[in-house]
Amino acid sequence: MRFPSRCAHCTRVNSKSWIWYRRCSSSKVNGSSKFVWRKLVMPEASTVKRANAARRAGKSPSTQAGEYVRETIRHVRQGVHGARSTKQIIAIGLSKARRAGVRLPPPAAGTVSRQTRRQAERELRDARSHKTARPSAKRSRATLRALRREDHSAATSSALSRQAHRSAMKRRS
């Protein structure tokens, strides 16, 4: 139940808040390097690597975004956070993909709310312009706390299967 790291001593978890940290020696304090525990930023490097490999191989944006959705499913299963539904897990993964620069088009008008569509457009635009503004720490904490209160049953194989079946039936009609 650990994030991939170079050795057994590189990753720890704060058991009270379930925030993952990684040991980092990159910071220099008074000329000497010092180990510091830094909060992991999402998405994971391995996910980005797989998505970039898919892009280089000429795969579609939805295939590239699938890596981020898989990562989110893994996080819910590991207990990093929960989700209210399988659709929410998929939405979080697609949002991560857009923020990471996957050229995934926003949902079609009429399929989702106007607010969701505009958010997707904004994420895509910000990723293309390489915006470096830090997100609000207070808002990020609030979102993560809300997700931690949610259940983990949305990432079970039966829940994912039900979602896939419903999605396929919608495409069929």
Same domain assignment for residues 17 and 58:
no
Note whether 167 and 85 are within 8 A (CB): no
Note whether 82 and 148 are within 8 A (CB): yes
* 122 or 15, higher pLDDT: 122
- pLDDT given at position 127: 87
Range with the poorest average pLDDT among 8-17, 78-87, 94-103, 132-141: 8-17
Same domain assignment for residues 50 and 33:
no
Same domain assignment for residues 55 and 32:
no
- pLDDT given at position 29: 45
Does 19 have pLDDT greater than 60?
Answer: no
Same domain assignment for residues 21 and 101:
no
CA 163 – CA 173 distance, rounded (Å): 16
Note whether 76 and 86 are within 8 A (CB): no
What residue ranges in 17-152 does DSSP mark as E strands?
A: 19-24, 28-29, 32-33, 36-39
Same domain assignment for residues 124 and 103:
yes
- Averaged pLDDT for residues 8-13: 47
Our count of domains for the chain comes to 2
For residue range 51-81, list pLDDT tens digits in order.
999 999 999 999 999 999 999 999 999 999 9
- pLDDT given at position 42: 64
Residue closest to 86 by CA, chosen among 172, 157, 32: 157
For residue range 142-173, list pLDDT tens digits in order.
999 999 999 999 999 999 999 999 999 999 87
For residue range 77-114, list pLDDT tens digits in order.
999 999 999 999 999 999 999 999 999 999 999 989 99
Please give the structure tokens belonging to residue 62: 């939805």
3-state secondary structure of 98: helix
Same domain assignment for residues 86 and 12:
no
